Amino acid sequence: MLEERELSVRALVPGMYVSRLDRPWEETPFPLQGVMVGSSEDVEQLARYCRNVVVDLPRSEPRIARRLQLLEREDEELELPAVGAAPPMFSPRDIEAARESMDSLSQRATHLLDMIHDGHGLSNAVVEAAIAPVIASVAQNPDAMLWLQVLRRHSDYQYGHAMNCCVLAVAFGRGLSLPEADLHALAVGGMLMNIGMVDVPRDLPDSPEVLDAPAHARIRDHVRAGLALFDASDVANAGARAMLQYHHERHDGSGYPTGARGSEIPLFGRIAGIVDTYDAMTSERPWRPAVSRAAALQELYRQRDHWFQSELVEEFVKCLGVYPVGTLVELNTGEVAVVMMQNPVRRLRPRVMVLTDASKALRSTFMALDLDRHGSGNPKPGVVAPDPVHIVRSLPPDSHGLDPRELFL
């Protein structure tokens, strides 16, 4: 779980520790170190100055930790859906559009990288043909596109990484409300930012052994090589070029090749670094297994203002959700589910597909479940309400032998 929650002031309850406001502390009568909400009067006083605040989970009282994790209001009423009323996940139109986009991207990205491997250079026409359907499909339904991305198998990491980074960069840009021209640049840069790896012997990045200093230097040189390929092509896009140049730089200056830090790294370079790192962490490599998408987000969050700018990491988490599409999760019922769609308002209550029963045995029929709607209902006076169905934790990929690619294709 993340350590902070952004809430409306009216959602505060006693025991929550407010660590940040939507205005400078100096403009309020509150202490700079934060405010422990002790009563409704504290809430009213905060409401005079702010509309939204950030609540620090570890510093809040343990008795409300679970409510903080679920982003629940004390007075919230949760509606129990009728039997058989499980919400649809994706429309056939959205899935078909996403499938066609992924097929086109796969074919054209493979063709493009094969051309570069064979020494034919980089073609803007092939790049443009590959990214156009991706941008349109992400605009239509980003969750459907991300779901198809989860189901794709890639025998070659570099090809799969190029496709994944293209989709993730566009989805992130859309989440940031960037204009169409910027989404175009993100798609180009996402697909091309590692093209310099064509100059690196394939046995180096895929080696399960610990690499020596010369091997590391050879891999790091892919940034220079990629820029050389890009500059020699007819692809004229400054934003995409920044992604190639800066995707391994880090906010604290610990990256390469130049050790650029903070605002020295342009926005497109910062986005590229987050997307590149996230996809690398969630991909299986010869020397380590893939981590879950939720665990990768948690690591990015822990490294905010070290690896990447804090505000941008938080926006990436908002874009993908605390439990990104494709994440295996365990419910408080003991069942295992896979996240299918995000809830734009309540990120800890996505739509899931329940795959197993409480004993972790595969269900004969999968069950769609909207966690935002599946709650305790309105119990009668004196009757203890059942615990709303919620996510207890994310699970590593392939937990309990479950692989969405096997189950849904």
Residue 160: the pLDDT is 84
Indicate whether 118 belongs to any domain: yes
Residue 394: the pLDDT is 92
Q: What percent of the chain has pLDDT over 90?
A: 37
Cα gap 231→270, rounded to integer Å: 21
Q: Helix (H, G, I), strand (E, B), or coil: what is residue 260?
A: coil
Cα gap 165→143, rounded to integer Å: 15
Do 58 and 192 fall within a single domain?
no
Do 41 and 137 fall within a single domain?
no
Do 278 and 224 fall within a single domain?
yes
Indicate whether 77 belongs to any domain: no
Last residue of a domain, one of 301, 320, 339: 320
pLDDT band for position 76 (50/70/90)? very low
Cα gap 351→335, rounded to integer Å: 14
Residue 97: the pLDDT is 78
Cα gap 14→33, rounded to integer Å: 18
Indicate whether 78 belongs to any domain: no
Do 348 and 310 fall within a single domain?
no
Domains held by the chain: number: 3
Indicate whether 342 belongs to any domain: yes
pLDDT band for position 298 (50/70/90)? very high
- Of 346, 338, 288, 290, the closest CA to residue 318 belongs to 346
pLDDT in tens, 175-232: 898 989 999 999 999 999 999 988 888 778 777 787 888 888 999 999 999 999 999 9
pLDDT band for position 159 (50/70/90)? confident
46-60, 160-174, 376-390: which range is least confident on average? 376-390
Average pLDDT over residues 54-71: 66
Phi then psi dihedrals of residue 323, to 5 deg:
-115, 95
Residue 154: the pLDDT is 62
Indicate whether 75 belongs to any domain: no
Report CA dihedral (257, 259, 262, 264) to the nearest 10 degrees: -60
pLDDT band for position 314 (50/70/90)? very high
Average pLDDT, the chain: 83
Q: Where are the alpha helices (DSSP H) in 193-336?
A: 213-220, 222-231, 238-246, 267-281, 293-302, 310-320
Residue 387: the pLDDT is 67
Do 367 and 313 fall within a single domain?
no
Indicate whether 403 belongs to any domain: yes
Do 306 and 336 fall within a single domain?
no
Residue 64: the pLDDT is 63
Do 347 and 290 fall within a single domain?
no
Indicate whether 210 belongs to any domain: yes
Q: Domain holding 126: CATH number?
A: 1.10.3210.10
Do 131 and 248 fall within a single domain?
yes
Residue 151: the pLDDT is 73
pLDDT in tens, 247-287: 999 999 999 999 999 999 999 999 999 999 999 999 888 87
Cα gap 386→397, rounded to integer Å: 30
Do 99 and 45 fall within a single domain?
no
Cα gap 208→206, rounded to integer Å: 6
Q: What percent of the chain has pLDDT over 70?
A: 87
User: Is the link from the previous residue into 266 a cis peptide, with omega within 30 of 0?
Assistant: no
Q: Helix (H, G, I), strand (E, B), or coil: what is residue 258?
A: coil
Do 64 and 112 fall within a single domain?
no
Last residue of a domain, one of 13, 35, 70: 70
Higher-confidence position of 67 and 52: 52
Structural domain harbouring 385: 328-408
Last residue of a domain, one of 272, 287, 320: 320
- Of 154, 234, 221, the closest CA to residue 194 belongs to 221
Indicate whether 199 belongs to any domain: yes
The answer to whether residues 273 and 314 touch, using CB atoms and an 8 Å cutoff, is: no
pLDDT band for position 86 (50/70/90)? very low
pLDDT in tens, 324-354: 999 999 999 999 999 999 887 777 889 999 9
Do 17 and 98 fall within a single domain?
no
Residue 135 has pLDDT above 50, yes or no: yes
Do 197 and 334 fall within a single domain?
no
